[in-house]
Amino acid sequence: MATTDVVIIGSGIGGLSCAALLVRYGFRVVVCESHAIPGGAAHGFERDGFRFDSGPSLYSGLSYSPSPNPLRQVLDAIGADLPCVTYDTWGCWLPEGSFETSVGADQFCEVLAQLRGESAVAEWRELQRMMQPLAAAAVALPPAAMRWDWGATLTLGRFLPTVAKHALNGLKLTGAFSRLMDQVVQDPFIRNWLNLLCFLLSGLPANGTSAAEMAFMFADWYRPGVKLDYPIGGSAALVNALVRGVKQQGGELRLNAHIDRILVEGNRAIGVRLRNGDIIRARQAVISNASVWDTLKLLPEGAMPKSFLAKRQATPECDSFMHLHLGISGELPLDLPCHHIAVQDWAQGVTAPQNVVLISIPSLIDPSLAPPGKHVIHVYTPGNEPYALWQGLDRRSEAYAQLKQERSAVMWQALERIIPDIRDRCEVTLVGTPLTHARFLRRHHGSYGPALKAGESIFPSAQTPLPGFLCCGDSTFPGIGLPAVAASGMIAANTLAPVSKHLELLRDIA
């Protein structure tokens, strides 16, 4: 039996961010990861010299400091270096046609002028004007200052003058983004575009995506001189930076460490039992970075009020993913954008199964990901693949192989618009399904996460009714996406930290 201060269940970005800050605060921490690779949905893996991202491929706010991105703030807090390459353009394959667009304040207006005319440009400019003060309000209170106890009066108090300055605009950020969009945007293409951006951020369209989340995106993507980032070495480099921060300060990461049960004594979480029988006791807390549904499976009967368990179990879920990981031979045009978005039909809605496909070719900007003269490609349907189609299938069966072929066709078709001879160039071909997602990421139904609609429900905090038991990750505030889960891990760590050390951290990363 081992003893530590804090046990963290899961090494996703939320769990690693939490662990990294806790060890900086002076806690002894053990992170238990069920997989053989750390990183959760953001882990990287290698096949035949090709280095793949398992999940996220679009990053911003990582290449500079100070940054409003909570993930960059975590890296700054632990002194972790993360070299990035920057770019600003991606390809779009939409019902209106194909074109390239860029982050920044102006280039999208050129696209609008060509596709929709000057009236659409005027609407977009008006939306930008409306969002500018709201964007400032969205970043006025950094998540790094938050904690879920009385100490928040001191840590948040440092920012009260700034928050007060933006108070009226801050109130406008409550609820769904669609309320703001409806005030100024009538053009159907702009509305579709904004729904697409919302879906990519939160897994929901504009009527379910937080206005604050979109305001943060406007603050980050549509400012002058903005660039998007890609960590050199891919998502694995990001994960490794956090892992180094944990280990260099005395924390421990255990891989292939399958949690069987959260241990409760005297109405308090006191540790975990692994499937191999090992027990790790926690003096201060157990923190789960697993999804809400997977976390509930680990709690002993009677540990939580039945009403709390029923409410959390009923959390609506986003759909899952299809993945296509390819290692290909031959060069690609140097001016080909590294990322592409394809939409089949706006009328179906952005959340419709297989209606949106994302394509990432990161080796175009980071050649280290593939052998010389070759490239890595990741194509996926982002959170729109129904798990019900796959539930109960034997992964070794002919029915499963046939369904993989059928459901991956849309990804091949999208990619062939960019690289017509792609099938002839493949050296590595891996097709992932919701069952793959559930198996390797240890995710309930392979889900992208909770589908909690802004204005109708809110993400729970890190706290639970069980003393000594906290949560972080995409099932807690502030929700889905890398910046959000890093913020959730940060907030959980802050809640355990002495206020004096929390204030010191805020001074260091300011």
For residue 91, being part of any structural domain is answered with no
Reply yes or no on whether the pLDDT at 223 is more than 80: no
Dist. CA 304–CA 450, nearest whole Å = 20
Residue 455's pLDDT is 84
Secondary structure class of 507 (helix, strand, coil): helix
Residue 300's pLDDT is 96
Identify whether residues 284 and 364 lie together within a single domain. Answer: no
More confident position, 105 or 40? 40
Identify whether residues 309 and 327 lie together within a single domain. Answer: no
Residue 89 CB partners (closer than 8 Å, separation 6+) = 100, 101, 102, 337
Identify whether residues 332 and 427 lie together within a single domain. Answer: yes
Identify whether residues 72 and 10 lie together within a single domain. Answer: yes
Cα 17–Cα 20–Cα 22 angle in degrees, nearest 5: 105
Where residue 17 sits, what CATH number does that domain have?
3.50.50.60
Reply yes or no on whether the pLDDT at 104 is more than 90: no
Residue 347's pLDDT is 96
Q: Which of 431, 446, 461 is the last residue of a domain?
A: 446
Dist. CA 344–CA 353, nearest whole Å = 10
Mean pLDDT of the chain: 94
For residue 503, being part of any structural domain is answered with yes
Reply yes or no on whether the pLDDT at 241 is more than 90: yes
Identify whether residues 203 and 242 lie together within a single domain. Answer: no
Structure tokens at 311: 């409410």
Q: What average pLDDT does this structure show over 350-365? A: 97
Dist. CA 178–CA 181, nearest whole Å = 5
Identify whether residues 427 and 324 lie together within a single domain. Answer: yes
- Extract the runs of DSSP E, i.e. beta strands, from 414-471: 426-432, 469-471
Identify whether residues 337 and 441 lie together within a single domain. Answer: yes
CA 281 to centroid of chain Cα atoms: 30
Please state, as a whole number, how many other Cβ atoms lie within 10 Å of the Cβ of residue 70: 25
For residue 346, being part of any structural domain is answered with yes
DSSP 8-state assignment for residue 413 = H
Identify whether residues 439 and 470 lie together within a single domain. Answer: no
Dist. CA 269–CA 469, nearest whole Å = 6
Identify whether residues 354 and 457 lie together within a single domain. Answer: no
Secondary structure class of 209 (helix, strand, coil): coil
What is the number of domains present in the chain? 3
Burial class (CB in 10 A: 0-12, 13-18, 19+), 158: middle
Q: Could you report the per-residue pLDDT of 59-85, keeping only the tens digit for each?
A: 988 999 888 899 999 999 999 999 999
pLDDT confidence bin for 58, thresholds 50/70/90: confident
Q: Could you report the per-residue pLDDT of 22-48, keeping only the tens digit for each?
A: 999 999 999 999 999 999 999 999 999
Secondary structure class of 96 (helix, strand, coil): coil
- Range of the structural domain that residue 412 is part of: 320-446
Cα 104–Cα 340–Cα 135 angle in degrees, nearest 5: 30
Secondary structure class of 290 (helix, strand, coil): coil
For residue 49, being part of any structural domain is answered with no
- Extract the runs of DSSP E, i.e. beta strands, from 289-319: none
Reply yes or no on whether the pLDDT at 167 is more than 90: no
Identify whether residues 357 and 459 lie together within a single domain. Answer: no
* Distance set, CA 411 to CA 122, 311, 344 (Å): 35, 36, 11
Q: What average pLDDT does this structure show over 10-26? A: 97
Give me the residue label for tokens 């052998």. Answer: 371
Reply yes or no on whether the pLDDT at 86 is more than 90: yes
- Of 26-30, 173-177, 375-379, 421-425, give the lowest mean pLDDT range: 173-177
- Of 105-114, 257-266, 445-454, give the lowest mean pLDDT range: 105-114
Residue 156's pLDDT is 93
Identify whether residues 437 and 332 lie together within a single domain. Answer: yes
Question: What pTM, to 2 d.p., does this model score?
Answer: 0.95
Residue 106's pLDDT is 80
